[in-house]
Amino acid sequence: MVPMTEKSVENSSVVENNTAKTAKTAAKPELPENVHVRFCPSPTGTPHVGMVRTALFNWAEARHTHGTFVFRIEDTDAQRDSQESYEQILEALRWLGLDWDEGIDVGGPHGPYRQSERTEIYADVAQKLLDAGYAYESFSTSEEIEARNVAAGRPKAFGYDGYDRNLTEEQKEAFRAEGRKPALRIKMPDENITFNDLIRGEIEFKAGTVPDYVIVRPNGDALYTLTNPVDDAMMDVNVVLRGEDLLSSTPRQIVLYRYLMELGIAKQIPLFGHMPYVMGEGKKKLSKRDPESNLFLHRENGFIREGLLNYLAGLGWSIAADRDVFTMDEMVEHFDVRDVKANPAHFDLDKAIAINAEHIRMLEPEDFLRRSVPYLFKDGVVSADNWDSLTNRERQILTDSVELVQPRVRLLGEVSGMVGALLSTDEYIKPEADARKQLKDSAGDVLDMAVSTLKEIPTEEFKAEHVHEILAKVLVEDGGIKPRLAFGPVRVAVSGRRVSPPLFESMEILGKDLSIARLAELRKHLD
């Protein structure tokens, strides 16, 4: 989630990026008795791993403390929000199993849970802030703010200078007569703003470093700076866990919470915890545009939810110093957001894949097969996209091969390459390029010897161990051929691959006739 900027009213980005803040060592605060956390993304693109980690940490904290996990959507940016993105966010949470207690499609006492349906609420709160003197009308344009900064010897983009705080009614009327419509700004107090971050400890923003900020645009649209805290207040959120990029907005929200409490809208100022950046290649912050940030791309490649969640949980948190692999039940048991590290976390795709492989091995074989079928269907290896609709032959071969394949794949997307040749009835499997290169000049003689030997084995004795024993004797012991040169051509003929499931177990699954036919066909293609 990214806060709406105020560039249409003022150029305050430089001020925000250079806000003075200091962190001090302090005991991290105790969590409230009844934790209420929330996940509130904006539907502006494909779900990314940073978004998922935010959802995961909030979910885990709620589950660990037996608290409440609220899921709402911040969709007030009509130009960037999309229904497609909204549906993708829901799909992502459901696929990952991150269930929520209150919010979208679940309901609850604080709805509606889409900001686009709460505009009247924001207008009412804004008016109350204005009437109470906590907010004021601001007519200054960006150009006027910049000009005053230059005249005062400040950088042009220094930010808003508080000019409109003390406008008289006559001055306001004069601006209105020009056709100007005011924005609404919150009055920031002339004092240091300090809070104890659940992850970073005590943080202080010096007085004067955070200017009065806009909460409602001149066209009447409420900004993130108003809608987000108001929703949190009305939904009784008391712990806010979010990204480090939103840290600069925290002093503004704390001040607004004080005002909302005075107005009887908020019960408390929530505790804040700002999670570290997720870094990509070259130690740069992982961008939405980076391929490794795309959640659905990882799913498409064959990550399972258990593996991906496990890896994302380790981006800033660990269950133990010497342990990388754990289940979500174990995470819930041990998670405490106060244990999250403040240092940036690096997204390492190789490590993510390795952890995913561990979780694939932890699946029950039937579960592994059922999850693999959609990938097999996409690759044209089986006839249907679900287990129950497969042919009897397909189910039998997959069942027979699961012990060979499951321990050897890291992603479900790799299963097709492992079982494709086993499911095929073709007598010739065209070798992949790297497999073809491994065929030496002796391959033809090896295949001839293997074919003549295998023909002598009775069909009922065509079992993995026996086939291995016979071929080893004929090719290696009697023929004097090195095992790699003896069995390599057989493997390429049977699977078309340099790396495959165990060779002789694969031949048993294929059966005598098809195994011999493949060796013979490869032999023909060598001429």
The helix-helix angle for 49-65 and 305-313 (nearest 10°) equals 80
- Determine which one of 128, 288, 341, 463 is catalytic: 288
Number of other CB atoms surrounding residue 207 within 10 Å: 13
Residue 527 tokens read as: 């001429």
Dihedral, CA atoms, 38, 42, 48, 52, nearest 10 degrees? Answer: 10
Distance of CA 358 to the CA centre of its chain: 19
Neighbours of 168 (CB within 10 A): 8
- Residues 461 and 452: their CA atoms lie apart, in Å, by 16
The DSSP line for 310-362 is: HHHHTTT--SBTTB----HHHHHHH--GGGS-SS-EE--HHHHHHHHHHHHHH
Residue with tokens 């006839």: 383
Bridge-based pairing state of the strands 183-186 and 213-216: antiparallel
**Cα–Cα distance measured from residue 205 to residue 224, given in angstroms and rounded to the nearest whole number:** 20
Q: Nearest-CA neighbor of 240 among 284, 205, 275?
A: 275
Rounded distance between C-alpha atoms, residue 362 and residue 406, angstroms: 9
Q: Is 440 annotated as a binding residue?
A: no
- Does residue 351 have an active-site annotation? no
Least Cα distance to 409 among 484, 348, 359 occurs for: 359
Q: Length of the chain in residues, anyone?
A: 527
**C-alpha count within 13 angstroms, C-beta hemisphere, residue 238:** 15
Residues 337 and 58 sit within 8 Å (Cβ to Cβ):
no
Q: What helix, strand, coil percent values describe the chain, rounded to 5?
A: 50, 10, 40
Answer whether 405's CB lies under 8 Å from 501's CB.
Answer: yes
Catalytic residues: 288
**Binding site residues for ATP, as ranges?**
288
